[in-house]
Each structure stands twice: as C-alpha cells, then as structure tokens.
Amino acid sequence: MVLNPVISKLAGKLVVLASASPRRLEILRNVGLRFEVVPSWFKETLDKSLFKAPHEYAVETAKQKALEVARRMPIKHLKTPDIVIGADTIVTVDGMILEKPVDKHDAYRMLSSLSGKEHSVYTGVAIVLCHEKENEEVDYQLIEFYEETKVKFADLSEDMLWEYINSGEPMDKAGGYGIQALGGMLVEYVHGDFLNVVGFPLNHFCKQLSLIYNHCTPSSDKESDSAHLSLNGTHAPSVLVHGSSSVPRPSSPSASQTNQTYSSPSASPVHKVKRKGSKSSQSSGALVNSLSKHTDGNEAKLQDSDNTPLPLITNSGQLIDRSVTENEDSQPKKEDLERISELLDGFKASKALFTASKLCVFDLLHRMPGLDAAQVAQEIKASVKGTECLLEACVSLGLLKCKERTYENSDLATRLLRADACFSLHGYIQHCNETLWPLFSHLESAVQEGHSQRERAFSNRTKDMLQGAFHNSPEAKLRFMNAMHSVAKVAGKTIATAFDLSRFKTACDLGGCTGAMACEFTKAHPGMSVTVFDLPAVVELKEHFQPLHTDSRVSFVAGDFFQDELPKADLYILARILHDLPDEKLHILLSKIVEASKPGCGLLLSEIFLDEDRGGPSRGLLQALSMSEGKQRSATEYSRLLKSHGFITKQIRHTDNLLDAMLCIKA
C-alpha cells in the first residue's frame, strides 16, 4: 500500500479533512488514514473569470477550505491540527466549470452539456502543515497540486437523462453525476485516475505525502519567509506562511478579499496565530475533555481533564475570565437539566414504545389484564428479565400501570396503542420502528450530505418512501398502508369537520390510501361522495381494510396522479401529500388539479403547518430531518404556493391533532 511508509510517521498526529464529502471520507479511510472531519466554512464564491485555467480555480478553492479550518481550529477548538487536507472537484466542458447542480433543471443543463462529449474532471488538493512554535504562534506550510482525468459520456436520451436525475443522485455531485454509482452507466471511457472523478486523487496524494515526510523537515523560526519545500519537480508549490500575530480570530476570507489579497491563484495568504494560555502542541489534542453550552448559546464553558477551570471562549473568539461570569458554587437549573435529560433519553423512550408495540404487550394486557412479568414473558416468548425491564420502563412512561407487581394498560394505551382500538396508532408505530428508526440512525450522514439515507439504511436505491413501500414485499406494503391508515383514523374526523363543506357534493381524496379519511368525510357530510384515487398496488390491497368500506359513497379509482387524468370533483383533498414531493412533482400535481377543476372548486390541504418563525412545535421540523425530496412549510408558505396555481386560501385551522388543515378555492 502506497501510504504504508507514511502511516507510521502520521501516528499521533492530528490529521483533519476539511470536507464532509462521504466519497472523500471513504477513499481516505479505505487506505487506513486516521483523521477527523471538520467541514470548512469557506464560502465557495470565488470569481471563476479571474482564473486563467480551471484547475487554478479548483486549487484555490481547496486551499481556502484547508486554510480556513487550519486557522479556525486553534481558536474555536483550542487545539492545533498537524495536517489539514482540503479538496475541491470540478467538471469542465467547452470552457465551462460545472460544480454541483442547484436543482433538477440545473442538473439537466449540466448532463445535457456532457452528453456525447469528452470532458475533464479536476480535483485541486491543498495540504496545510501546521507548526506550533515555542512562542505559541502557529505557522502554516502549504502544499498544493491538482489532478486531471478525461471522461467521455455516451449520447444520452431524454428518458435516460430524466430517469437518472429523478434518482436523486446528481444533486450533490460535481457535474451532476457520480461515476461510482448509477452515473457509471453514462460513461463510455475514463482516461486517468478513476478515484479523481469520484472526488479525490488518492495516488497523487500519497506521492505528495511520501515526498513531504521522506524529503523534508518541519520549518523552524529561523527559516526564511520565502522557504520552499523541494518536491523534485512535481506540481506542488509549498509556501511557509508567516505574518502579524495581532489577529485575535482568523475568519474565512470572502471572494473579494481573496482576490484582493492574493495576486495569483498560487499565492498563499500570510498569517500567524498566537494563542495565549495554550498548552504545547504535544498536549493540545487533550486540552479540552468537556465542552457544554450555556442555554443562551452565546458562550462555551471549558474544563481541563483535572477539573481546572479554563477561560470562557465566546463565539467571537473572545476570552473571558470565568470568575466574572459564573459563581463556582452555582448549579444548573433543575428545569434545564430536566429538559436536556428528556432529549437525551428520548430515543430510549421511543424504542421502548416500539418494542412493546411490536411484541403486542398492549394487546395482551387488554385481553388479560393483571399479568405479572413472568406471565407476560411466557405469552410474548421473551426472557423474564428483559420483559420485566420493558414493563417497568413502560410504567415510567405512563403507558402501563403496575399494582402489586402485576400490570395493565393505562388509559393512554387503551385508547391509542392496542391494535384494535378505534383510534389505534399501532400501524404508525410499526412504521416508525421499521422505516423511520433505521433512517434516522444515519442522521449524521443525512445532515452532512443533505439527502435521504434510504439507500444506506435499507440497502436499495429507492428514495421515495411511498414508491419504496410498493416495490417491496406484501408485508412491507401492508405495513405502510397500516401506518397511513392509523394517521387518517386519528386525524380524519378533525380534518373533515374543520370547515363547512356543505357546498361540495363530490370529493376526490388524492393518495387516499385505505379510504379511512374518505369515510370520515362522508360521515361528517351526508350529502358528499368521495372517490379515493391512488396507485393500483394500493387499491388492490384495500380488501384488507374491507370492514371499513360499508359506505357506498366511498369508491376507489386506481391511477397515478402524476400521469393519469384525475377524477372530476367539486373538492380535492390532499392529506400528507405535498410535504414529501420535490418541486417538480409538486407543480405537476397542482397543475393537474387546476386542469381538472372548475372555478369555485375547493382544495382541502392537510399537513403539519410549521410556525412562521420556526419556533413552535417541533414535529414538522423533526420530520424534515428525514431529508426527503420535499419540504415542510408554514401555512403562509402553503398559501403562497397554492396561490401561484390559482387557489385562494379561505380558511386555515391549526388543530390539536396530528394534522392541520387549509381550505382553498379556485379563482
């Protein structure tokens, strides 16, 4: 392995990757490099027209990313890295630089321009070596290089283009494609380093590390300001960075500052940091073992491993005497600790609920109340110890009651948790356990990458939750339908009675699934008939919910509301549909409703409405963390969206139920 001779020399060093790219992380981890990830805050807004060649732009961006992290860490993290690695990958064709697409139409523009052509992929790489000196200043030594790979695309049809774009893969990839995944099907040939196209030129990087650690030594205070490393003629200039020690907190340079300060893309910034009260570089990595924020988020408390109080450091980098701001004998507020403890233990409570529901504990205790732990364990085929722990946890959560070591359901469990309850959430709980729990276990990756982790969580490429459910087993399909059925049963009556709908005689529930919501509408409005319009796979399975369908005013029509003609109706119902749709599909659906409806027709929207300032109940905001292609919105944002399609909002109802409601009329 090329890195093996260098690995031993990196042992004990703090190596930092200034990128959250999962591709770069995987490439470097696969060769055994140990490093921390500190994503750069540098805004990639450099003026491309100022660079003579595309690779100069990529190298300069990589350099600014790496330097921003190298400068920030001694101040914000109170530790100086030994090495910071920055990288930036771009695609160029016909003299244009293509970075990551901003939306699907941008992705289409990029991929269309690559169709049938050879293009270049450049990755600029910057390696910053940080030297902490005896006077507590930090010098930065810079090595930069780039790699070019030629890639030829096949001629792409419109269908192939949109099929690939709709897979979601292009959205976080330079040039709009990922060669290591589905995008590889678009490529005819590659000339050069394949991993460079993925996002990091590993071979070139390894050679540079070998040159650095086998042919040069760290700089000292006696070195000249113009000292350079000899890299045997490779394209990797190294600049020793010095300068004023009076800068209290380095910040990311803007594009204008960058262009003004540096006369050419290969020039390096001049900077030196002096950190008062810091420890030597050998111990800087262990300086801070505990970091907690005040409730106002403006300051951070620091404490050394021996409990010696350290200075406070604010978000602006200002050091404050701790004794001025806090009494040594003060204690955190009880309500603060309770709130944080509630959040810390929230996932444990959720899993306890999911497990008790999956093992049918609530159904068992409804049929046979007063069982002890051993009896429950025997019925659910589990260990006595594990069952007792689960039952006691459910008692603490208010889901069960315990009397003389025997258990029975609480009122809450009786009403909402047993499978046969009128307003049972059993189906949705199983959906949370089987689908959302695995999805949210990859939340760190979702936040770093900005898209859903369904592929990682479920080992398939289906990103649309509904379509994913209906391409899997019958059990998975029914589980998804049960989840939607649960929500519709609980929220249906509230939504159906939110407004006076007596003027509407026919309604169409788009994506109405099992018809539970439709039945609530016919119950609340005797003069109304409702057509449930959903995918054929949904309609085929409606027989599993047949006891619900005793009302002849509820009918089912199979179809795809993105492609097929919609049934005619006076009122269209959209419950839990729009929040999950990307803009392109959302506008297709709303346009089809406009086409099918007449002036005066109604549109009843039911979603979780966010507070206008995003400061209210968190359900919708937490739901957004699933990183679906859609978007959570406030009532005002939904009103604005519907108005753009000709529907005027008449009434908005924030309910105390799972969903809110809005009634709009076509102008």
Q: Would you please indicate which residues are annotated as catalytic (active-site) residues?
A: 88
Positive or negative, the CA dihedral 323, 324, 328, 332 is: negative
Determine the Cα–Cα distance for residues 28 and 456; give it in Å rounded to an integer: 19
**Secondary structure of residue 506 in the 3-state scheme:** strand
Determine the Cα–Cα distance for residues 139 and 219; give it in Å rounded to an integer: 8
The closest alpha carbon to 593, from 566, 615, 559, 611, belongs to: 566
- Among left, alpha and beta (phi > 0; psi -120 to 50; other), residue 56 is alpha
Strand order in the sheet with 312-314: 290-293, 299-303, 312-314, 319-320
- The enclosing H or E element of 98 equals strand 96-98
Place of tokens 């990755």: 123
List b or e across 179-201, with b for residues whose CB sees 16 or more CB atoms inside 10 angstroms: bbebbeebeeebeebbbbbbbbb
Q: Give the dihedral of Cα atoms 423, 425, 426, 427; nearest 10 deg.
A: 110
Determine the Cα–Cα distance for residues 547 and 544; give it in Å rounded to an integer: 8
The closest alpha carbon to 14, from 66, 84, 76, belongs to: 84
CA distances from 205 to 4, 209, 235, 238 (A): 13, 6, 12, 14
CB-based contacts of 335: which residues, under 8 Å, 6+ apart? none
Length of the chain, please? 667
CB-based contacts of 204: which residues, under 8 Å, 6+ apart? 125, 145, 147, 193, 196
Q: Give the dihedral of Cα atoms 417, 419, 422, 425; nearest 10 deg.
A: 50
Backbone angles phi, psi at 147, to 5 degrees: -130, 140
Residue 126, CB half-sphere, CA atoms under 13 Å: how many?
33
Distance of alpha carbon 528 from its chain centroid, rounded?
42
Say if residue 177 is exposed, middle or buried (CB neighbours under 10 Å; 0-12, 13-18, 19+): buried
- The enclosing H or E element of 291 equals strand 290-293
Contact 176, 164 (CB under 8 A): no
Determine the Cα–Cα distance for residues 420 and 579; give it in Å rounded to an integer: 29
Backbone angles phi, psi at 203, to 5 degrees: -60, -50
Backbone angles phi, psi at 666, to 5 degrees: -75, 130
Determine the Cα–Cα distance for residues 401 and 81; give it in Å rounded to an integer: 54
Residue 449, CB half-sphere, CA atoms under 13 Å: how many?
26
Pairing of strands 506-510, 529-534: parallel
